[in-house]
Amino acid sequence: MSAKTRVAILISGRGSNMAALIEAAKAPDYPAEIALMFSNVETAGGLDIARAAGIATTFLSHKAFASREDFDAAIDAALRDAKIDLVCEAGFMRIHSEGFVRKWEGRMLNIHPSLLPSFKGVKVHEQAIAAGVRISGCTVHFMVPELDSGPIIAQAAVPVLPGDTPEALAARVLEEEHKLYPEALKLVAEGKVVLRDGRAVFV
Ligand code: GRF
């Protein structure tokens, strides 16, 4: 049996996408194992979920570092120590230095709760409702230095309903996120999707 892809998940909060990835990785035939959970927030709910699941956790506050580069160097060291192959960001609320992203390019994924390239950044569901779109959704993409701009691996759509609040839309999108992220990670871990010439290519 070939070794599974070793995955680190980076979070800052609730960790529901992380929990979905942990759950999916329990399947014997899933090609990835969650080898590390990293949080930059000590009170992140996801830390308790990961500990309860028996996942190795690392907490490091960005506030303890003089620069973005120094913080990223510490993350990189933690990833190397754990022999990580792939990184999944799931609600990690820090922007990385360009050098760090370049180093992990093609091996670092993120999930964003909109149909990119629409509605980047924060207050995503507010943006979607304000724009009056009838469909929103979520995107898993390879990370590049520019925020929420990397090559798209997978997307799922949901309707935006009349009278939707940002919270109602967020909940509908989140349900899809929990299905999409495990599917996208599977594709990358199996080598079925790779980053090539700035595109996510199915091979
Ligand atoms: C998700 O909506 C994700 O798309 C965004 O941040 C949120 C994290 O939620 N990047 P959770 O911590 O996974 O529950």
pLDDT digits (tens, 9 = 90+) for 31-87: 999 999 999 999 999 999 999 999 999 999 999 999 999 999 999 999 999 999 999
Q: pLDDT confidence of 2, banded at 50, 70, 90?
A: low
Q: Phi, psi at residue 122, to the nearest 5°?
A: -110, 175
Whether 93 and 141 share a structural domain? no
* Distance from residue 155's CA to the centre of ligand 1 (Å): 15
Asked if 112 is an active-site residue, the reply is yes
We report the CATH number of the domain holding residue 153 as 3.40.50.170
Whether 2 and 95 share a structural domain? yes
- The torsion region of residue 151 among left (phi > 0), alpha (psi -120 to 50) and beta comes to beta
Whether 124 and 149 share a structural domain? yes
Whether 124 and 202 share a structural domain? yes
Domain, as residue range, for 69? 1-104
Q: Whose CA is nearest to atom 7 of ligand 1?
A: 91
Contact, 153 vs 200, CB < 8 A? yes
- Rounded Cα distance, 7 and 48, in Å: 18
Whether the per-residue pLDDT at 117 is higher than 90: the answer is yes
Q: pLDDT confidence of 154, banded at 50, 70, 90?
A: very high
Whether 100 and 116 share a structural domain? no
Contact, 170 vs 113, CB < 8 A? yes
Whether 41 and 63 share a structural domain? yes
Residue 48: predicted pLDDT: 94
User: What number does the ligand 1 atom closest to the CA of 113 have?
Assistant: 4
| Cα angle for residues 121, 14, 12 (degrees, 5° grid) | 55
Q: What is the 3-state secondary structure (H, E, C) of the chain?
A: CCCCEEEEEEECCCCHHHHHHHHHCCCCCCCEEEEEEEECCCCCHHHHHHHHCCCCEEECCHHHCCCHHHHHHHHHHHHHHCCCCEEEECCCCCCCCHHHHHHHCCCEEEEECCCCCCCCCCCHHHHHHHHCCCEEEEEEEECCCCCCCCCEEEEEEEECCCCCCHHHHHHHHHHHHHHHHHHHHHHHHCCCEEEECCEEEEC
Residues 113-131, mean pLDDT to the nearest whole number: 98
- Proportion of the chain above pLDDT 70, given as a percent: 99
Q: Which residues line ligand 1 (CB under 6 A)?
A: 11, 13-18, 90-91, 111-113, 174, 177
Whether 7 and 64 share a structural domain? yes
* Distance from residue 1's CA to the centre of ligand 1 (Å): 33
Whether 118 and 49 share a structural domain? no
Per-chain mean pLDDT for the chain: 97
- What size, in residues, is the chain? 203
Whether 96 and 165 share a structural domain? no
Q: Which residue among 62, 96, 112, 125 is the active-site one?
A: 112
- Rounded Cα distance, 158 and 169, in Å: 9
Ligand 1 probe mutation, 88, 174, 181, 185, most atoms within 8 A of CB: 174
pLDDT in tens, 71-115: 999 999 999 999 999 999 999 999 999 999 999 999 999 999 999
Q: Whose CA is nearest to atom 1 of ligand 1?
A: 91
- Which of 104, 128, 146 is a domain's end point? 104
Whether 168 and 148 share a structural domain? yes
Number of separate domains in the chain:
2
Whether 74 and 135 share a structural domain? no
> Structure pTM?
0.97
